[in-house]
A and B are shown apart, each in its own frame.
Chain A
Amino acid sequence: MLDSTPREIIARTGAVINPAKTCQPIGAMYAALGIHRCLPHSHGSQGCCAYHRSHLTRHFREPVMASTSSFTEGASVFGGSANLKTAIKNVFTLYNPDVIAVHTTCLSETIGDDIPSIIKSAAIPPGKMVIHANTPSYQGSHVTGFSNMTKGMVNYLAEASLENKREQVNILPGFLNPGDMREIKRLTALMGVPFIMFPDTSGSLDSPMSGQFNMFPKGGARVEAIRDSGNSSLTLALGEYAASDPAYQLERKCLVPAVVLRTPIGIQATDALIMALRQHFVAEVPDEIEEERGQLVDIMTDLHYHFHGKKVAIFGDPDIVASLTEMVLSLGMKPVHLLTGTPNTSLGGAQGNFEATVTAMLEDAGLAGRVKAGGDLFELHQWIKNEPVDLLIGNTYGKYIARAEDIPLVRVGFPILDRGVHSYLPVVGYRGALRLMEMIDNALQDRVDRDARDEDLELIM
């Protein structure tokens, strides 16, 4: 399909071709699904909500519930206040969630609906609550939307109710799959540190089959837990773009110190997470974790010659691509093209500097490569045409480039629309790194086998 992409790169000013990001509201919807018994609410046209639900459903292969204000022509002229109030009333009557998490859309942002004052004047049953986040689609990306909704949780829920902080850590996992959130919780529990994770979509978007449809599955961060996050002695924000802004907000609001780490993909970023927990909570690293790390290092040494010197292109969400870059560098690979659709820091928009972070990693490794925030897949394809790679790592949209250039694709990130299981198993932590190594190794070695002539086909590799 992409055979016609020209090699010559000409600067564009008007059009994005084949986007490598999507809009804020879907990230906000996903984050809201990480609160227990919460129904995300899309304050905009019906289509936004339908598209977000479809997209999330395709990625997670789970029912995704969210309601919409169903804007009409009238609402977009006179404002959507009446729609939202009706919606809040109907949602509590019909679906009975504990929390409604309202996010805006480009439409309601542009017409300027004042969500806090609408919420204040809405009829909310006792014991129930409505929170909100502003998520204009024309700023940042879906990652920004995830961050903004997480910040909304801090704004509405977190409270510093104790004089002294508790020995517990807040973990803001960033825009990760439920399988990853589960793994981070497992590691933290193994460290023996009490924790509060929010949002937490494990048990919500990877819920087991029960023969029943539960509109509100067992998982998700409890409201009381998020409230108590103001009493924690530390917040670990995993990912600059997806988690730092809410962590700093929690610091400002409740004086919980924030530490921003990379998404724990690969040995270095996972070490950083474990060390942060150890240092702040004077915890011993248990044998189980030592063993997992040791196994990872063992496999890295066993297979290093499969990886060394292989050129790789990586695209996707900025926090994920940064950590993947660090990981492939640790394997001796050469990440030469690194691209995210999410733009660099902007006022009210994304918080993070992908280009600076990743360029520094390349410089440390003595490598040169193309690095871009706010790019699109057309440009990535042109880069690959100009400097071919052995491997592409990214979401499902990479399959067109992989096919056009005949390179293997390892699927990591969001969205993955053409394969299953990915959202259940981690890429984070030492175990996740093992899994990623297996995925990358299989892709590379399958290609060697495929391309080998009969006389060159090796049994032992």
Chain B
Amino acid sequence: MKTDRGETLLKARTGFIRTKGERMPTQSCEADSVSGSVSQRACVYCGARVVLNPITDAVHLVHGPIGCASYTFDIRGSLSSGAELYRYSFSTDLKEQDIIFGGERKLAAAIDELVQKYHPPLVLVYSTCVAGVIGDDLEAVCRAAAQRHGIAVLPVESSGFAGNKSEGYRVACEVLMRLMEAGNSPLPAMEPGINYLGDYNLAGELWIIGGYLRRMGVKLNAAFTGDSSLKALQTAPAAAFNIVQCAGSMGYLAKRMQERYGIPFFHVSFLGLQDSADSLRLIASATGDEEVMARTEELIAEEAGQAEPFIQAYRDKLSGKKAAVYVGGGFKAISLIKQFRELGVEVVMIGTQTGRKEEYDEIHNLVEDGTVILDDANPAELERFMSRQGADLLVGGVKERPLAYKLGVAFIDHNHDRKHPLSGFEGAVHFAREVYHTVCSPVWKYVKQGG
């Protein structure tokens, strides 16, 4: 692969890229992007919206010019078993005169109209860059609206410039804490259940894991925030413990709930057969209930038994292939390394947008020598290392897809454009099938002929 540009790396970026087995300083991460880079990262609003969007019965009202609402108009594949209100796009569509005179009055009118139209139990008002800069007092407008309508109306302080996507996750978690506090009416005496944090029910993934929990005899109080409603979220403080899947977005909430409600938590991952089985066992043993543990073993035997022949068949086709991974958070990256190993696929390049130091350490321990690890990569870096490492497949999000295709490399969306649930044993089979469909498609043959 010869590109003049490909060999140019900014000095400022060198600490963010390393190769296992080579002597290098420790991984840099959790820093702001370099100005002028073609970063694959997003903003605070994006992070907050991603976390809160699956609350299905809320009005998600974006306070700003139209763009931020347009780009988040039903883009997440979070499925709902009930309300569909979250799929609408609501905006105050601020205009020039609003920027000059302030948008508070328009915001209050918008809330009133939407409440009258849809009677939601909850309105979430997202602040955007402009709302933050002109200094609209969202808190006051929301408080007044809540009193007028007798429902929860909460501001989400998600002005884009206030940090990157991770900051948005934290903002969203604070809003979720407030929602739980607002529901402080005495909780009905209920069997202690668990909360499932960091699952957004993409392609119905929550329903798979929820099904497992039901069969194990473990009650699920609330999922954060996949297929959730205000009412369900407000039962969360009564849980015996929290399980955390997407640590990047929800690790903070787990800590806050532990401080506030004394709810312990641990991490789980339902990507791949091994992680799925390990996680279910962890949950079962946390209940301390022998029967649950026995049922869990039965479930694992049955589900893994069904999945394994499929995985084996795909493994035969895929063995020896090489994968590159570029995803949002570190925890998912770690699981994917293990899941690819189950398929006989080696991960030769791995990176994240917002991974944390301890996650990069674990990634470093897991991968083979020679694997390239990078933080907040730009397309030129992705291109360079995918080519150099001879990847057959890239796992990434929407912006990475055409990049991979242009290089003649297969692609899996492990972000919100995913089309099949990838969680649990069932999800592991979907994942293997997707990898097979893309890696073994006849179309690559024509690329290699010089297309």
Contacts and interface: CB of A to CB of B under 8 A. Distances in A.
Given A16-B90, A75-B161, A86-B36, A51 B95 contact: no
A139 B160 contact: no
Interface stretch (A41-49, A165-173, A240-248): A41-49
A19 B69 CA distance: 8
A50 B399 contact: yes
A447 B84 CA distance: 27
Contact of A50 (B40, B117, B380, B408): B40
B161 A14 contact: no
B92 A15 contact: yes
A212 B8 contact: no
Contacts of B162: 72-73
A348 B110 CA distance: 26
A15 B37 contact: no
A73 B161 CA distance: 5
Interface stretch (B58-66, B237-245, B344-352, B433-441): B58-66
Interface string B414-451: 00000000000000000000000000000000011011
Contact of A138 (B3, B9, B99): B99
B73 A18 contact: yes
Interface in B44-90: 44-46, 61, 64-71, 73-74, 84, 87-90
A40 B128 CA distance: 22
B39 A111 contact: no
A45 B160 contact: yes
Contacts of A18: 73, 88-89
Contacts of B37: 67-68, 70, 90, 94
A36 to B, nearest CB: 16
Interface in B115-131: 117-118, 128-130
Contacts of B112: 14
B393 interface: no
B10 A55 contact: no
A57 B403 CA distance: 10
Contact of B36 (A22, A62, A94, A213): A94
Contacts of A76: 129, 132-133, 161
Contact of B398 (A57, A66, A208): A57
Contact of A62 (B65, B133, B402): B402
Interface range on chain B (Cβ under 8 Å from partner) = 35 or more
Contact of B71 (A51, A64, A68, A95): A51
B8 to A, nearest CB: 6
A303 interface: no
A211 B447 contact: yes
Given A66-B38, A73-B162, A212-B407, A47 B44 contact: yes
Contacts of B40: 50
A71 interface: yes
A87 B34 CA distance: 8
A276 interface: no
Interface string B250-280: 0000000000000000000000000000000
B91 A19 contact: yes
Nearest to A89: B36
B202 interface: no
Given A13-B113, A14-B108, A50-B43, A213 B130 contact: no
B451 to A, nearest CB: 4
A44 B129 contact: yes
B197 interface: no
A67 B34 CA distance: 10
B58 to A, nearest CB: 14
Given A51-B71, A211-B450, A93 B10 contact: yes
Contacts of A349: 96
Contacts of A23: 65-67, 70
B5 interface: yes
B163 to A, nearest CB: 7
Contacts of A53: 399
A49 B63 CA distance: 19
Q: Which interface residue of B38, B91, B112, B401 has the most chain A CB atoms within 10 A?
A: B38
Given A19-B91, A58-B398, A45 B161 contact: yes
A95 B380 contact: yes
A137 interface: yes
Contact of A54 (B87, B89, B90, B399): B399
The listed residue with most B CB atoms (<10 A of its CB), out of A53, A210, A211, A213, is A213
A273 to B, nearest CB: 31
Given A138-B94, A215-B379, A67 B113 contact: no
A335 to B, nearest CB: 25
A22 B118 CA distance: 24
A397 B71 CA distance: 12
Interface residues of A, number: 82
A57 B401 contact: yes
Contacts of B383: 213
A55 B134 contact: no
B41 to A, nearest CB: 5
A106 B399 CA distance: 23
A64 B379 CA distance: 10
B214 interface: no
B406 A46 contact: no
Contacts of B5: 94-96, 215
Given A15-B113, A70-B39, A94 B8 contact: yes
A13 B111 CA distance: 11
Interface string A189-215: 000000000000000000011111111
B189 interface: no
Contact of B379 (A51, A65, A84, A341): A65
B399 A57 contact: yes
A105 B128 CA distance: 12
A70 B398 contact: no
Contact of A14 (B9, B35, B70, B113): B113
A141 B3 CA distance: 37
A91 B109 CA distance: 43
B398 A14 contact: no
Given A23-B70, A87-B36, A212 B1 contact: yes
Given A110-B134, A138-B99, A19 B42 contact: no
A332 interface: no
A367 interface: no
B130 A67 contact: no
Contacts of A1: 74, 84, 87-88
A106 B113 CA distance: 25
B114 interface: yes
Given A54-B399, A94-B380, A17 B90 contact: yes
A107 B38 contact: no
A63 interface: yes
Contacts of B98: 138
A212 B407 CA distance: 5
Interface in A1-48: 1, 4, 6, 12-19, 21-23, 25-26, 39, 41, 44-48
A30 B67 CA distance: 15
21 contacts: A13-B109, A14-B92, A14-B108, A16-B90, A22-B70, A23-B65, A25-B67, A49-B39, A50-B40, A57-B398, A70-B34, A72-B161, A86-B36, A94-B37, A95-B5, A106-B130, A138-B95, A210-B406, A211-B406, A211-B451, A213-B403
- Which 9 residue pairs of A and B lie closest in terms of their CB atoms, listed nearest first? A47-B43, A14-B110, A23-B67, A87-B36, A14-B109, A90-B36, A45-B160, A15-B110, A22-B70
Interface of A: 1, 4, 6, 12-19, 21-23, 25-26, 39, 41, 44-55, 57-58, 61-73, 75-76, 83-84, 86-91, 93-96, 105-107, 110-111, 136-139, 141, 208-215, 341, 348-349, 397, 400
Given A75-B161, A138-B98, 7 more contacts: A52-B71, A66-B38, A76-B132, A137-B64, A210-B406, A211-B406, A212-B1
